[in-house]
Structure 1
Amino acid sequence: MKKVYILIFTLSLFPVSAQNTGADSLLRTLNRTTDMSLKTELLNKISDAYKSSDPDAMQKYAGKALVSARKIHNEKEEAKAFQNLGTSYIILGNYDDAIKYFNLSEKILSGLDQNDKAIKEILAKVFGSKGIMYSEQNNYAKALENDFKAMKLYEATDNKVQLSKIYNNIGVIYDSIDDDIKALNYYLKAYKIQKEIKDPALAVSCSNIGLIYLTENNLVKARKFFDESLKEFQKSPNARGMGELYNSISQYYVAKKDLKTAKNYLLKAEEICKSTEDQFGLSNTYLFLARIYFDENDLDQSSDFVNKSLQISRDLDLPEAMMNCEKLLSEISDKKGNKEQAFIHLKKYNAAKERLSRAENAKERLKAELNFEFEKKQIEKKEKADWEKAKWIFGFLLLTTILIGIFFFYRNREREKTLLLQKQLAEFQHKALHLQMNPHFVFNCLAAISSFIVQNDKEDAIKYLAKFSKLMRLTLDFSQESLVTIDKEIEALKNYLELEQLRFNQKFDFKIFKDPLIEDDTALPSLLLQPYVENAVIHGVVPRKEKGLITISFNQTKEFLICEIEDNGTGIETSKKMKENSMSVHKSMAMEISKKRLETWEELEKKKVSMTIVELKDKNGASKGTRVLLKLPLEYIKD
């Protein structure tokens, strides 16, 4: 479901009459005055008054204000005129011109008295408007940067109305990248102010907050905020917001197993979404209705609604909605006994899921980058405060000041180096996750499972689907941890190799040994060994004519965990001479990333790590396989 931005400048959702009472009154005043300063102010106010009805008129009067302000050298009004021009171009969807005028306004304001409250207000409005513009372009990093600048200025001027809007918009950005904790924090800040000042936007904030609590399965708090949102919408009607709220409330009743009430709310939502032409909301409504009818075993009704949702989702290009629709259509076809149609929808579901996975990975990368930048700025801010304090206290002692400066210099350099290494390690870990399950492997596994379903071999289908699900769950769990226990690693490798055996028709056997002296809480870096094991499968045993064997062993010395991966395949040197294909390119990238992770981990932890890959040969010098040997410093999972 979508969240609602509360704009720094109010935009009407529908065309309104060209007649603008506020602008007309200002125009009459303008025609009666001869004072150039007052005329310039009035022209900017007239421009601002047209923002909800006529962006062309807004540009016209902003242009006149700009000319007038330059004639009388009034930089504050000149900055206002640029700000109004930027706003008009956002409304018209011309972001290039909008940012040009906002930057001109910001440049002028930065050279004026920063203690002047009016200057702070105009500058905050510029930053807030830029935040909206970047949010519309999905450039969340720049949107947050500008929103935080606006937030600090509005906090300084104690402008509660605009501050509540900025808090909401920051919450929407964090919500868009699935950072629910930060999103909820800013929504609640906006809610607190809106409740205090009786802001009509309170209904929207309550709806957004309730939806996050519903996502977290906190039904009591979700119901509390949904009820409050309903009351506020009755005071300040907003048809689109009401439609989204009805959709959200329906899912509350679904969670409470009250499908009849859920259906009633969805029918209300459908009526509103149709009247407001809210296609996004209507897509959700139809999908929710389809699920309810499916649960009630009314497959025809379910199929009708899910197809409506799918059509809208395709028109709006909504990958998550398309994925959910195809999944439900596959389940409906399966229940009707149409296995062939179920398989077709399952393939479409897998394609949509893969596309959504790429989008989710992009969100995770963005979230990590935003967190890294935020933490870095917090560190820099703290250090700057510490430095200022030290300068005031010890400024008169030159020698002490120099020593403190040297101390901070070296400490900062080490800290920045550590932060850089941690960022690199996180990036390599993310890339390792992205490459962990290559698309050919995932597709073939799903195709094999689907084949079992079509052939009505439910026992094997369930068995291999369970293995595949378990492997994917472990892989995702690993992505959250820098270290995993050895038993979890062995479990993941076992699941992976069993699936590869299915994929290649039992082309190879495998054995995994663990030294009984190794403690259960012994750990190793997550997502590290799988690329080498996959390499043994793809480039080692699979090309052999005879049945292959892969042996994985874990041993321990006083200081090291020794991981050995050995296969009786074609050998690394022979494999290099074979023609590279897309799968080998994938794996070479994964192995290179694993190598860089080891190097970065070694430098960060100040512990020795070694990795060797050798080709095994018989007494005649012929290749008989490859051995990968990893020596990792002993690590343990801390409680």
Structure 2
Amino acid sequence: MEKKYFLLFFILPMFITAQNFRADSLIHIFKQETDTSKKTELLNMISDAYKTSDPVIMQKYALEALVSARKNNDKEEEAKAFQNLGTSHIILGNYDKALGNFNLSENILLSLKQEDKAVKGILAKVLGSKGIVYSEQNNYAKALENDFRAMRLYESINNRVQLAKIYNNIGVIYNSIDDGEKALNYFLKAYNIQKVIKDPALAVSCSNIGLIYLNNKDLKKAKAFFDESIIEFQKNPNKRDMGELYNNISQYYITKKDLKTAEKYLFDAVKISKDVENQFALSNTYLFLAKIYFEEGELDRSLDFVTKSLEISKELDLPEANMNGEKLLSDIFDKKGNKEQAFIHLKSYNTAKEKLSKIENAKERLKTELNFEFEKKQIEQNEKADWEKVKLIFAVLISATVLAGLFFFYRNKEREKTNLLQKQLTEFQHKALHLQMNPHFVFNCLAAISSFIMQNDKEDAIKYLAKFSKLMRLTLDFSQESAVAIDKEIEALRNYLELEQLRFNQKFDFVIDKDPLIEDDTALPSLLLQPYVENSVIHGVVPQKEKGMIKINFTQNQEFLICEIEDNGVGIETSKKLKENSVSVHKSMALEISRKRLETLEELEKKKVSLEIFELKNEKGESEGTKVLLMLPLQYIKN
């Protein structure tokens, strides 16, 4: 879904005509006005009237208002002038200049009486405008900070029109980071106000809400909001957003297996999107049509529409649409019997999927950070309120000596809470790294299985898929926890090595030993060892001519779990030379993530984590392989 903020109005011909008429009327009044303070106010009003038709003229009148306000020392009108200048720069796409003007406006307004209703209204508008700029720059944390401040101000002066807009903007931000639950909450808040005040934007809100309910599989509510959206668009037509509504409704009918009705809505969406030149919506519409024709077995029509969709999505750089388009193309060519093209587009699909996964992981980390910042601010606000109460009570009842004692007591409390927050931040960082590890491992396995299936017979491929599915089930289990029991990790490593044995035609043997003294509930970070084992396979035993051996051994002492990974491969120096001679040198993302995970684990546990990687040599100084020695602080699974 495209971002839709309600600072700027939808530009419709009739609306622009009305705005220009209003501007002409204001200019006429301005020419007859003699009061300089009222002339300044009129200049700002004229500037605002041009925001939907001509941002350059808007700037001209805003600058005149600024000069006039400074002459009259009118701080409120000066703040409005900076607000108008900032808005004109948003329209022109000059986001840095827009922020500069909004900051100047905010600083002036904060110096005025904060209880004044007019000042609150202007300040809220400035903060909401800053929220839009930060959202366009994908700085969602800053955007929410400003939007929440604007929301509280609008609530305090009961400005329902602007509240509906700010609720929508907050919903758009949460939807942009795939937090559907919070997005739905704020879209519904906007909807409830818009319904009462008969806001023309109600149709768009209904469409957004319907799509979230559809994604949540609540078909009844989705249909109800889609129907209401159609009714509202009939009252207040808006072709651009109607095109996106038809796309959303088509997905409802596809879910209901009513492909003919879905097809009808999609062709209506195509016509509208072409009329208003909405390429984003058109890319999605073509892809939806291609999927329908694929399901109906009309492969040529499906190929035609998915090709159109990909042309647009690549031009606009839409990762999800690219991924889905490449996957459908691979499936089409596979059904047509063109295995070569099917494989080419399968590789493109895997590349697009990895790119999208990085974006999704970034969104997950952002959601975690936003939640953490919200909790942190709540704690700070509560502490501030409590501290003010304490100061008030003890100023009357307790002597200076007791107050001094309380001061030191609360300072220590603050330190403890700061340490707690720091520990929580480290935990969030550790979880974020773990989130990156899972998709990387899955994509490595998918690449391996694609290569294997293309090169081997069906019987071996079936064996490989069986082991792969078992490994994926374990990986999905691991995704729920940052640490797993040692036996689970061993099971995953054994499955992984058996897959690699099949892939490389039994090029190596392996053995995994665990000291009987190690408790069953001993834990270690999930998938932490896999990159080092992968290195032993790919860069150790596979490049050598003779059959290799990989040994993995787990022991423990009083403080540490000791993990040893040893191979009799070509060794570190030879491996480096082979990499240098290859066409492209690949830097292992998994090893880098593992290194960062070890750093955060060390900070979290406040215990030293030891990692050594060294080459094994015989008496003649010749390489006999590589050994990885990892010492982790003992930890156990919590029931």
Aligned to 1:333: 333
Give a deviation string over 1:182-224, Cα, whole Å, max 9, x none. 2122212222222232222222122112211211222222222
> Per the alignment, in what secondary structure is the counterpart of residue 524 of structure 1?
strand
Moved more, 381-390 or 8-17: 8-17
The answer to whether the Cα contact below 8 Å between 2:550 and 2:566 also exists between their aligned partners in 1 is: yes
> Per the alignment, in what secondary structure is the counterpart of residue 395 of structure 1?
helix
Q: Note the C-alpha offset of 1:89.
A: 1.3
The answer to whether the Cα contact below 8 Å between 2:40 and 2:69 also exists between their aligned partners in 1 is: yes
Aligned to 1:419: 421
Moved more, 352-361 or 321-330: 352-361
Note closer, same or farther for the CA distance 1:570–1:449 as it changes in structure 2 (3 Å cut).
Answer: closer
Q: Note the C-alpha offset of 1:232.
A: 2.0
Is the counterpart of residue 597 in structure 1 residue 600 in structure 2? Answer: yes
Please tell me the residue identity of whatever aligns with 2:298.
D
Note closer, same or farther for the CA distance 1:461–1:274 as it changes in structure 2 (3 Å cut).
Answer: farther
Please tell me the residue identity of whatever aligns with 2:420.
T
Please tell me the residue identity of whatever aligns with 1:301.
R
**Percent identity for Structure 1 against Structure 2:** 62
Aligned to 2:198: 198
Give a deviation string over 1:576-598, Cα, whole Å, max 9, x none. 98677645665653453243133
> Per the alignment, in what secondary structure is the counterpart of residue 524 of structure 2?
strand
- Aligned partners of 2:47 and 2:110: how far apart in 1? 23
Moved more, 244-253 or 524-533: 524-533
- Aligned partners of 1:114 and 1:563: how far apart in 2? 62
Note closer, same or farther for the CA distance 1:217–1:535 as it changes in structure 2 (3 Å cut).
Answer: same
Matches within 5 A, 1:134-533: 134-396=134-396, 397=398, 398-431=400-433, 433-434=435-436, 442=443, 446=447, 449-450=450-451, 452-453=453-454, 457-465=457-465, 467-468=467-468, 471=471, 474-475=474-475, 478-513=478-513, 522-533=522-533
Moved more, 264-273 or 576-585: 576-585
Aligned to 1:566: 565
Note closer, same or farther for the CA distance 1:438–1:364 as it changes in structure 2 (3 Å cut).
Answer: closer
Please tell me the residue identity of whatever aligns with 1:421.
K
Note closer, same or farther for the CA distance 1:98–1:551 as it changes in structure 2 (3 Å cut).
Answer: same
Is the counterpart of residue 548 in structure 1 residue 548 in structure 2? Answer: yes
Q: Note the C-alpha offset of 1:599.
A: 0.9
Q: Note the C-alpha offset of 1:68.
A: 1.4
Please tell me the residue identity of whatever aligns with 2:138.
N
Is the counterpart of residue 10 in structure 1 residue 12 in structure 2? Answer: no
Q: TM-score, normalised by structure 1?
A: 0.89
Note closer, same or farther for the CA distance 1:298–1:81 as it changes in structure 2 (3 Å cut).
Answer: same
Is the counterpart of residue 88 in structure 1 residue 88 in structure 2? Answer: yes
Q: Note the C-alpha offset of 1:477.
A: 5.4
The answer to whether the Cα contact below 8 Å between 1:273 and 1:281 also exists between their aligned partners in 2 is: yes
Q: Which runs of 5+ in 2 are unaligned?
A: none
- Aligned partners of 1:75 and 1:172: how far apart in 2? 33
> Per the alignment, in what secondary structure is the counterpart of residue 552 of structure 2?
strand
Q: Note the C-alpha offset of 1:18.
A: 8.8
Moved more, 477-486 or 286-295: 477-486
Moved more, 236-245 or 331-340: 236-245
- Aligned partners of 1:284 and 1:627: how far apart in 2? 49
Note closer, same or farther for the CA distance 1:275–1:381 as it changes in structure 2 (3 Å cut).
Answer: same
Is the counterpart of residue 38 in structure 1 residue 41 in structure 2? Answer: no
Q: Note the C-alpha offset of 1:326.
A: 0.8
Please tell me the residue identity of whatever aligns with 1:426.
F
- Aligned partners of 1:274 and 1:573: how far apart in 2? 59
Note closer, same or farther for the CA distance 1:619–1:96 as it changes in structure 2 (3 Å cut).
Answer: closer
Aligned to 2:636: 635
Q: Note the C-alpha offset of 1:479.
A: 4.4
Note closer, same or farther for the CA distance 1:619–1:613 as it changes in structure 2 (3 Å cut).
Answer: same
- Aligned partners of 1:379 and 1:82: how far apart in 2? 34
The answer to whether the Cα contact below 8 Å between 2:361 and 2:435 also exists between their aligned partners in 1 is: no
Matches within 5 A, 1:119-134: 119-134=119-134
Give a deviation string over 1:72-131, Cα, whole Å, max 9, x none. 111101111111111111111122221221111111111111110100110111111111
Please tell me the residue identity of whatever aligns with 1:37.
S
Note closer, same or farther for the CA distance 1:621–1:64 as it changes in structure 2 (3 Å cut).
Answer: closer
Give a deviation string over 1:468-517, Cα, whole Å, max 9, x none. 56656654653442223444423432333234334544322223345678
- Aligned partners of 2:519 and 2:199: how far apart in 1? 60
- Aligned partners of 1:487 and 1:180: how far apart in 2? 37
- Aligned partners of 1:366 and 1:19: how far apart in 2? 40
Aligned to 2:627: 626
Q: Which runs of 5+ in 1 are unaligned?
A: none
Q: Note the C-alpha offset of 1:234.
A: 2.1
Q: Note the C-alpha offset of 1:459.
A: 4.2
Note closer, same or farther for the CA distance 1:465–1:211 as it changes in structure 2 (3 Å cut).
Answer: farther
Please tell me the residue identity of whatever aligns with 2:563.
E
Note closer, same or farther for the CA distance 1:318–1:586 as it changes in structure 2 (3 Å cut).
Answer: closer
The answer to whether the Cα contact below 8 Å between 1:187 and 1:208 also exists between their aligned partners in 2 is: yes
Q: Note the C-alpha offset of 1:334.
A: 0.5
- Aligned partners of 1:523 and 1:451: how far apart in 2? 33
- Aligned partners of 1:36 and 1:365: how far apart in 2? 53
Q: Note the C-alpha offset of 1:139.
A: 2.2
Note closer, same or farther for the CA distance 1:628–1:338 as it changes in structure 2 (3 Å cut).
Answer: same
> Per the alignment, in what secondary structure is the counterpart of residue 511 of structure 1?
strand
- Aligned partners of 1:315 and 1:367: how far apart in 2? 29
Q: Note the C-alpha offset of 1:537.
A: 3.0
Q: Note the C-alpha offset of 1:261.
A: 1.9
Q: Note the C-alpha offset of 1:294.
A: 0.8
Aligned residues: 631
Note closer, same or farther for the CA distance 1:263–1:136 as it changes in structure 2 (3 Å cut).
Answer: same
> Per the alignment, in what secondary structure is the counterpart of residue 20 of structure 1?
helix
Aligned to 1:49: 49
Q: Note the C-alpha offset of 1:13.
A: 5.8
Note closer, same or farther for the CA distance 1:437–1:360 as it changes in structure 2 (3 Å cut).
Answer: closer
Note closer, same or farther for the CA distance 1:568–1:92 as it changes in structure 2 (3 Å cut).
Answer: closer
- Aligned partners of 2:31 and 2:415: how far apart in 1? 63
Give a deviation string over 1:591-629, Cα, whole Å, max 9, x none. 5324313312322xxx78666667767799875652535
The answer to whether the Cα contact below 8 Å between 2:532 and 2:591 also exists between their aligned partners in 1 is: no
Q: Note the C-alpha offset of 1:561.
A: 7.7
Give a deviation string over 1:269-298, Cα, whole Å, max 9, x none. 222212221111111111111111111111
Please tell me the residue identity of whatever aligns with 1:452.
I
Note closer, same or farther for the CA distance 1:385–1:170 as it changes in structure 2 (3 Å cut).
Answer: same
The answer to whether the Cα contact below 8 Å between 1:572 and 1:626 also exists between their aligned partners in 2 is: no
- Aligned partners of 1:30 and 1:564: how far apart in 2? 81
> Per the alignment, in what secondary structure is the counterpart of residue 228 of structure 1?
helix
The answer to whether the Cα contact below 8 Å between 1:164 and 1:190 also exists between their aligned partners in 2 is: yes
- Aligned partners of 1:631 and 1:69: how far apart in 2? 67
Q: Note the C-alpha offset of 1:445.
A: 5.4
Q: Note the C-alpha offset of 1:519.
A: 6.8
Q: Note the C-alpha offset of 1:467.
A: 4.6
Moved more, 570-579 or 375-384: 570-579
Q: Note the C-alpha offset of 1:313.
A: 1.0
Note closer, same or farther for the CA distance 1:569–1:424 as it changes in structure 2 (3 Å cut).
Answer: farther
The answer to whether the Cα contact below 8 Å between 1:66 and 1:78 also exists between their aligned partners in 2 is: yes
- Aligned partners of 1:583 and 1:502: how far apart in 2? 24
Note closer, same or farther for the CA distance 1:556–1:228 as it changes in structure 2 (3 Å cut).
Answer: farther
